[in-house]
Amino acid sequence: MRIVLLGAPGSGKGTQAAQLKEMYGIPHISSGDILRSEVSRGTDLGRQGAEFMNAGQLVPDPLILAMIEGRLRQPDTRRGWLLDGFPRTVVQAEGLVELAGRIQQPVDAGIVLNVSADEVVRRLGSRRVCRDCQAVTSVAEAPAGTCRLCGGPLILRPDDAPEVVRRRIEVFEAQTRPVFEVLRRHYAVIDIDASQPLERVTEALRVSLDRYDHP
């Protein structure tokens, strides 16, 4: 099973990625992890990527795609893969379609986890982070406002403030919708309502993906 998973901020993408990885026994591949790994191993591609990052620039799409290709050619991808948070742009999506065709690993399904802005504001607005140890908790789990691990004060991360969350969702919508239109021209693409509780979302994924599973 080869899956492309994209999700709005606060859609529970990390949790669902872990479930899908388990469900199909496939590696979880994120472009950020690949980039960090190439850089830390000091590969050719990693050194090139580091130059852009050190100059405060985005790593160009062809370089990212070359890294993705290297990763998809690893032996652990024989049963498929889960690509997380990639492609992010139309150029990357077109690159992925070309790459997947060339290495004969077509995408079985693209998934987008949709969630309403109001729901994300509610979810992230109740998240708290310990100022001292960075542990993540919620208002409900720590009503006293102090960290259970170290006693430090719990704060709302600036990224989780309602106006910032709404802006992040707008950016996601603007960038990701066109990406999905590219994928939709080539592959099955599934929209999932991720405003539901996490277990219901996992179940919806299982039901939707079943028909594309051909081991």
Cite the active site residues: 13, 88, 127, 157, 168
Q: What is d(CA 110, CA 93) in angstroms, rounded to the nearest whole number? A: 11
- Of the ranges 26-34, 36-44, 46-54, 124-132, which one interacts with Zn ion (CB under 5 A)? 124-132
Binding segment for Zn ion (CB under 5 A), chosen from 101-109, 128-136, 137-145, 203-211, is 128-136
Question: Could you tell me which residues are beta bridge partners of residue 153?
Answer: 146
DSSP characters over 13-26: HHHHHHHHHHHHT-
Shorter beta-carbon distance to Zn ion: residue 119 or 132: 132
133 touches Zn ion by CB under 5 A: yes
26 scored as a contact of Zn ion (CB under 5 A)? no
Contact between residue 7 and residue 13 where contact means Cβ atoms under 8 Å apart: yes
Nearest to Zn ion of 43, 146 (CB atom)? 146
Q: How many helices (H) and strands (E) does the chain have?
A: 8, 8
Which of 136, 149, 155, 171 is in the footprint of Zn ion by CB under 5 A? 149
CA dist 80 and 134 (Å) reads 34
Binding site for Zn ion (CB under 5 A): 130, 132-133, 135, 147, 149-150, 152
